[in-house]
């Protein structure tokens, strides 16, 4: 490959349990504030798990004035529209009739989402004597709702984003469970590098905080049952961790070709510099104890970015707070970083936000960009007794001021997909001074 | 510096209502046999729109031999894994890997990608919770309390949209770059496009690209019917009297390799991937642009990516879903790109229905066969071309190819368009 396009992050938007925008979320993360609490969105009293990271008091109409569009937006699609709107405004950029076809869209989207009330309607009409009867749908009383049908389409969020912003180019939605958000950004990077778009709106959105969604994880025993202490329930890398806390939200980035971002005087948060993407091919929910899979993803991402171990100052870990994930992720980190491991700051911001599933990787990449901008690694909250088996340099107690030249953002999914993104400080790109391997314009693949 | 590698297709697998395996499906198409029939997955006798192209009389064990897996996956996954198995088997990749030394095997696996277009789930996945709603009398507190004693603990795992991706990896040891694309109808074809992109950029040396779906689900059929999208007798692409589409189910999968990799192991080459294009129309969740400009943009991007001119195209496999709006805008798109002398056009959904996330994948499998056999199958359900769509070279009878390159068009909800350009017999591209 000849000289390769560089990709700048110029806009960030977030809707998370910590706030309805990126600045509030970022301030919460730096302060180590918990966005987790008792579930209020539905009556969770009988459930084994009664806590989550809910986006509270969310009113998309405060940000998105197109009411008709919002009618077609599920809860997570509403998060997506609001976070994407913030990212676009932050970048000071908007597709227009002339360049809409050069804008792409890449999202990590959740599983099929049906409102619980809709499932109750099916139950009311189609279940008799404990049996399911499809003919109940033919009942003239059955409330067929075409808008609800549209809302539940797997790519509805993608279609609404394209419509709202006037994006006319490459558009894709990916779902690799918890790795979705990271993979969506990785895909966006590749689409820009191969010249299929000059701008990308990329991110992830999800909400499984509903009776069916949370049930799926309850049945697997994957969630923390610390119902009385929600603020401490998510404690990645702590010895006493006992599962993750389900969150919801969205994260979006605006990506632009570096030179054109510079030319218009855009504020560049960071370079989206590398993507690593592997498949563990081990077991569907278990990660390999050795870290096999994530190891390859991290190595590929750094190679792709053209950086070495010595360039990485901070890792935003997947760090779900399950026994297995955190141990295996640390094994991977130790295997990758070797003697550098104690120099690299590691934290999981899921300690404050919970696990945003398909949105997690996208929000966390935005977190990495802000960490680079502000020179601070956000705290891994609730770390009282670090698991001695983890053996990595965790950001404990409070957020840590740190010159960050490059960060990794890990996202590891059920099903074994592993995504690792590399973000670099813009100064590293502009003035390589021996650290960056490839001077601008001569990058090689 | 290496130039961009050429991408070869060395294996194809498929299953749909029209048959098990590409040979069987191709015979059905040449014979004019359609799998469209009244739905049998439930008693549909009272349903106003009761047609679909179901995969019938095929046991789960025929699709996925390993019975232990059956309780961890759903119907759509079985189709995807069957197709992938067929493609991998035809490619001979595993036999090749067996001959490698241990370090080379590790590298082989790390350099083998997996790309899947998945439907992402259907309404009836959630019906596993209906007994719980019954048991709890509609009370959420009771729902929560009875959950673990009523619902299968594997529920979430059975319904993960990325199961096929995961199990192709686990079964065959492939560990490279990967994606599960849940972009509704265009997912399967975008999986091929992304697999090819990964090979071109050097992220992988080979990749499996699959598309699978199983949407014949009562609530889905209900909504499609109410939106006026379902035909009540047959799918009649581009016909004056077309009345809608019919849902199908199944999967198709491909093995893609770099030219160098395929030739060095003397693999039999089924076809060459030349290029892809993708666009969105921004028309909301279910709308299409009447003027076809979104699709024509995708076709033009794909031809440019393939470095092929529109005159070189010998066959268009249209999306041709048989709905009024989509077929009309597709004809407009074809005219925008190919003027008033387009190459022969055909569409296959009359035979196996609309496979949604797998629709483009299955069309690609048959496009490759059409190129190999040098024939453009007719559309038996086409009685009379809609005069508003003329001139459009579609026919009830088989037509002759105009060249060795095929364009496969695929469209979906969300205003999505994805197009592939392939050719059958790889010829030297030396200028």
**pLDDT on residue A445:** 34
Q: Is residue B428 included in any domain, yes or no?
A: no
For residue B265, the SS3 value is coil
Please indicate, yes or no, whether residues B139 and B151 belong to a single structural domain of this protein.
Answer: yes
Catalytic residue, candidates A164, A175, A178, A368: A178
Q: Is residue B2 included in any domain, yes or no?
A: no
Please indicate, yes or no, whether residues B85 and B146 belong to a single structural domain of this protein.
Answer: no
Asked about A125 being catalytic, the answer comes back as no
A100–B156 C-beta distance less than 8 A: no
Catalytic residue, candidates A20, A164, A175, A355: A355
Nearest C-alpha neighbor of A48 from the set A243, A213, A240, A223: A223
- Residue B160, chain A, CB below 8 Å: the answer is yes
Catalytic residue, candidates A231, A318, A368, A420: A318
Please indicate, yes or no, whether residues B171 and B149 belong to a single structural domain of this protein.
Answer: no
Nearest chain A CA: its distance from B378 CA (Å): 32
B416–A171 C-beta distance less than 8 A: yes
DSSP secondary structure string for all residues of B29-45:
HHHT----EE-TTTT-T
- A293-310 tens-digit pLDDT: 999 999 999 999 999 999
Asked about A425 being catalytic, the answer comes back as no
- Residue B149, chain A, CB below 8 Å: the answer is no
Dist CA B165 CA B168 (whole Å): 5
Dist CA B299 CA A14 (whole Å): 35
User: Mean of the pLDDT values across residues A17-40?
Assistant: 98
- A200-253 tens-digit pLDDT: 999 999 999 999 999 999 999 999 999 999 999 999 999 999 999 999 999 999
A285–B182 C-beta distance less than 8 A: no
Residue B365 sits in a domain whose CATH number is 3.40.47.10
Residue with more model confidence, B265 or A435: B265
The helix (H) or strand (E) run that includes residue A9 is strand A7-15
User: Mean of the pLDDT values across residues A42-51?
Assistant: 97
Please indicate, yes or no, whether residues B116 and B151 belong to a single structural domain of this protein.
Answer: no
> How much of chain B is in helix, strand and coil states, percent to nearest 5?
40, 20, 35
The pair of three-digit structure tokens given for residue A15, joined into one six-digit string: 């809707």
Nearest chain B CA: its distance from A31 CA (Å): 34
Domains and CATH numbers, chain A: 7-112+154-430 (3.40.47.10), 116-149 (no CATH)
- The share of chain B scoring above pLDDT 70, in percent, equals 98
Please indicate, yes or no, whether residues B75 and B203 belong to a single structural domain of this protein.
Answer: yes
Please indicate, yes or no, whether residues B135 and B278 belong to a single structural domain of this protein.
Answer: no
Q: Which residue in chain B has the smallest CA separation from A195?
A: B305
- Please name the residues in contact with B299: beta carbons below 8 A apart, sequence gap of 6 or more: B277, B333, B334, B337, B407, B409, B419
The domain tally of chain B equals: 2
Asked about A390 being catalytic, the answer comes back as no
**pLDDT on residue B324:** 96
**pLDDT on residue B284:** 82
Q: Is residue B387 included in any domain, yes or no?
A: yes
B165–A219 C-beta distance less than 8 A: no
For residue B216, the SS3 value is coil
- A159-200 tens-digit pLDDT: 999 999 999 999 999 999 999 999 999 999 999 999 999 999
Q: Is residue B63 included in any domain, yes or no?
A: yes
Q: Is residue B303 included in any domain, yes or no?
A: yes
**pLDDT on residue B425:** 67
- B310-328 tens-digit pLDDT: 999 999 999 999 999 999 9
- A131-165 tens-digit pLDDT: 999 999 999 999 999 999 999 998 999 999 999 99
- Please name the residues in contact with A60: beta carbons below 8 A apart, sequence gap of 6 or more: A70, A73, A78, A79, A81, A82
How much is the ipTM here?
0.96
Nearest C-alpha neighbor of A150 from the set B325, B417, B356, B285: B285
Please indicate, yes or no, whether residues B171 and B139 belong to a single structural domain of this protein.
Answer: no
B201–A190 C-beta distance less than 8 A: yes
pLDDT at residue A423 tops 80: yes
Q: Which of A41, A280, A281 to mutate to test the interface with B (most CBs of B within 10 A)?
A: A281
Name which of B173, B190, B414 is nearest A159 (Cβ-Cβ).
Answer: B414
Dist CA B88 CA B83 (whole Å): 9
- Residue B161, chain A, CB below 8 Å: the answer is yes
Please indicate, yes or no, whether residues B325 and B410 belong to a single structural domain of this protein.
Answer: yes
Q: Please provide the average confidence, as pLDDT, over all residues in chain B.
A: 95
C-alpha atoms less than 13 angstroms from C-alpha of A247 in its C-beta half-sphere: 36
pLDDT at residue A107 tops 50: yes
Selected residues 295-324 of chain B with any CB under 8 Å from a CB in chain A: 297, 301
Nearest chain B CA: its distance from A214 CA (Å): 10
Please indicate, yes or no, whether residues B136 and B241 belong to a single structural domain of this protein.
Answer: no
pLDDT at residue B341 tops 80: yes
| Residue B37, domain extent | 7-121+159-423
A301 neighbourhood in chain B, CB within 8 Å:
none
Name which of B165, B222, B286 is nearest A415 (Cβ-Cβ).
Answer: B165
**pLDDT on residue A60:** 98
- Find out whether B342 and B334 touch, Cβ atoms under 8 Å: yes
For residue B181, the SS3 value is strand
Please indicate, yes or no, whether residues B285 and B375 belong to a single structural domain of this protein.
Answer: yes
Q: Is residue B26 included in any domain, yes or no?
A: yes
Please indicate, yes or no, whether residues B200 and B164 belong to a single structural domain of this protein.
Answer: yes
Residue with more model confidence, A4 or B345: B345
- Please name the residues in contact with B272: beta carbons below 8 A apart, sequence gap of 6 or more: B6, B7, B8, B9, B422, B423, B424, B426
**Lowest-confidence range among A112-126, A255-269, A299-313?**
A112-126
Please indicate, yes or no, whether residues B101 and B145 belong to a single structural domain of this protein.
Answer: no
Q: Is residue B362 included in any domain, yes or no?
A: yes
**pLDDT on residue A286:** 87
User: Mean of the pLDDT values across residues A338-352?
Assistant: 98
- B361-377 tens-digit pLDDT: 999 999 999 999 999 99
A167 neighbourhood in chain B, CB within 8 Å:
280, 282
The pair of three-digit structure tokens given for residue A229, joined into one six-digit string: 């202490």
Please name every residue paired with B313 in a beta bridge, in sequence order, or none if there are none: B405
The angle formed by the CA atoms of residues A203, A204 and A205, to the nearest 5 degrees, is 140
- The share of chain A scoring above pLDDT 70, in percent, equals 96
**pLDDT on residue B424:** 86
A155 neighbourhood in chain B, CB within 8 Å:
182-184, 412-414, 416
Q: Is residue B1 included in any domain, yes or no?
A: no
Nearest C-alpha neighbor of A360 from the set A223, A173, A179: A179
For residue A40, the SS3 value is coil
Q: Please provide the average confidence, as pLDDT, over all residues in chain A.
A: 94
**pLDDT on residue A374:** 98
């Amino acid at each position: 490959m000849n000289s390769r396009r560089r990709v700048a992050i110029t806009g960030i938007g977030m809707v998370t349990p910590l706030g309805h925008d990126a600045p509030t979320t970022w301030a919460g993360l730096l302060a180590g504030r918990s966005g987790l609490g008792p579930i209020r969105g539905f009556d969770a009293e009988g459930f084994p798990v009664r806590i989550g990271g809910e986006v509270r008091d969310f009113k998309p109409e405060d940000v998105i004035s197109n009411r008709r569009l919002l009618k077609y937006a599920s809860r997570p699609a509403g998060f997506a529209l609001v976070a994407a709107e913030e990212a676009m405004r932050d970048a000071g950029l908007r597709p227009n009739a002339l360049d809409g076809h050069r804008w792409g869209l890449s999202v990590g989207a959740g599983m099929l989402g049906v409102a619980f009330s809709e499932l109750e309607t099916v139950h009311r009409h189609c279940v008799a004597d404990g049996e399911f009867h499809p003919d109940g749908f033919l009942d003239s009383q059955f409330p067929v709702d075409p808008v609800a049908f549209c809302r539940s389409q797997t790519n509805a969020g993608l279609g609404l984003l394209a419509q709202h912003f006037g994006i006319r180019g490459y558009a894709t939605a990916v779902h690799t469970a918890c790795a979705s958000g990271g993979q969506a950004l990785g895909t966006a990077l590749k689409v820009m590098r191969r010249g299929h778009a000059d701008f990308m709106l990329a991110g992830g959105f999800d909400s499984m905080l509903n009776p069916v969604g949370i049930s799926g994880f309850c049945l697997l025993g994957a969630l923390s049952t610390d119902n009385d202490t929600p603020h401490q329930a998510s404690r990645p890398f702590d010895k006493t961790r006992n599962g993750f806390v389900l969150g919801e939200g969205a994260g979006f980035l605006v990506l632009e070709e570096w030179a054109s971002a510079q030319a218009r005087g855009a504020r560049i948060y960071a370079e989206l510099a590398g993507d690593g993407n592997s498949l563990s091919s081990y077991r569907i929910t278990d990660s390999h104890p050795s870290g096999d899979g994530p190891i390859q993803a991290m190595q590929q991402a750094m190679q792709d970015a053209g950086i070495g171990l010595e360039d990485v100052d901070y890792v935003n870990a997947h760090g779900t707070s399950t026994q297995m994930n955190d141990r295996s992720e640390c094994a991977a980190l130790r295997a990758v970083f070797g003697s550098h491991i104690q120099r690299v700051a590691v934290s999981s911001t899921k300690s404050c936000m919970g696990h945003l599933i398909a949105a997690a990787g996208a929000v966390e990449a935005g977190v990495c960009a802000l960490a680079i901008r502000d020179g601070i690694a956000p705290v891994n909250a609730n770390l009282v007794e670090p698991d001695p088996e983890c053996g990595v340099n965790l950001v404990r107690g409070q957020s840590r001021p740190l010159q960050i030249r490059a960060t990794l953002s890990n996202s590891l999914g059920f099903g074994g997909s592993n995504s690792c993104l590399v973000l670099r400080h813009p100064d590293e790109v502009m003035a390589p001074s021996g650290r960056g391997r490839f001077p601008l314009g001569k990058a090689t693949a | 510096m290496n130039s961009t590698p050429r991408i070869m297709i060395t294996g194809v697998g498929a299953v749909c209502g029209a048959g098990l395996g590409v040979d069987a499906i191709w015979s059905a198409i040449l014979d004019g046999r359609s799998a469209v029939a009244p739905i049998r997955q439930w008693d549909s006798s009272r349903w106003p729109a009761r047609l679909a192209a179901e995969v019938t009389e095929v046991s789960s064990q025929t699709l996925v031999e390993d019975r232990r897996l059956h309780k961890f996956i759903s119907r759509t996954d079985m189709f995807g894994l069957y197709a992938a198995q067929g493609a991998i088997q035809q490619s001979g990749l595993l036999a090749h890997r067996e001959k490698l030394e241990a370090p080379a095997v590790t590298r082989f696996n790390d350099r083998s990608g997996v790309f899947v277009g998945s439907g992402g789930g259907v309404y009836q996945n959630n019906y596993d919770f209906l007994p719980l709603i019954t048991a709890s009398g509609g009370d959420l507190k009771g729902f929560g309390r009875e959950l673990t004693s009523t619902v299968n603990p594997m529920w979430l795992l059975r319904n993960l949209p990325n199961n096929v991706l995961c199990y192709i990896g686990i079964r065959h040891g492939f560990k490279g770059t990967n994606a599960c694309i849940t972009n509704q109808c265009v997912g399967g074809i975008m999986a091929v496009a992304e697999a090819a992109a990964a090979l071109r950029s050097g992220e992988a040396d080979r990749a499996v690209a699959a598309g699978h779906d199983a949407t014949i689900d009562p609530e889905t059929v209900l909504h499609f019917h109410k939106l006026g999208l379902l035909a009540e007798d047959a799918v009649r692409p581009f016909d004056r009297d077309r009345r809608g589409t019919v849902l199908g189910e199944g999967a198709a999968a491909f093995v893609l390799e770099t030219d160098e990799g395929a030739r060095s192991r003397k693999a039999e080459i089924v076809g060459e991937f030349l290029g892809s294009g993708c666009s969105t129309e921004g028309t909301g969740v279910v709308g299409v642009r009447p003027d076809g400009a979104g699709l024509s943009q995708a076709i033009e991007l794909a031809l440019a990516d393939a470095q092929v001119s529109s005159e070189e195209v010998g066959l268009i496999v249209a999306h041709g879903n048989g709905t009024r709006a989509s077929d009309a805008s597709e004809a407009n798109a074809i005219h925008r790109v190919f003027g008033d002398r387009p190459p022969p056009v055909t569409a296959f959904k009359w035979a196996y229905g609309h496979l949604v996330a797998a629709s483009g994948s299955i069309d690609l499998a048959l496009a490759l066969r059409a190129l190999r056999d040098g024939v453009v199958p007719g559309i038996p359900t086409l009685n009379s071309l809609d005069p508003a769509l003329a001139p459009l070279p579609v026919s009830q009878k088989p037509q002759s190819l105009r060249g060795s390159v095929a364009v496969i068009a695929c469209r979906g909800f969300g205003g999505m368009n994805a197009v592939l350009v392939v050719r059958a017999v790889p010829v030297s591209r030396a200028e």
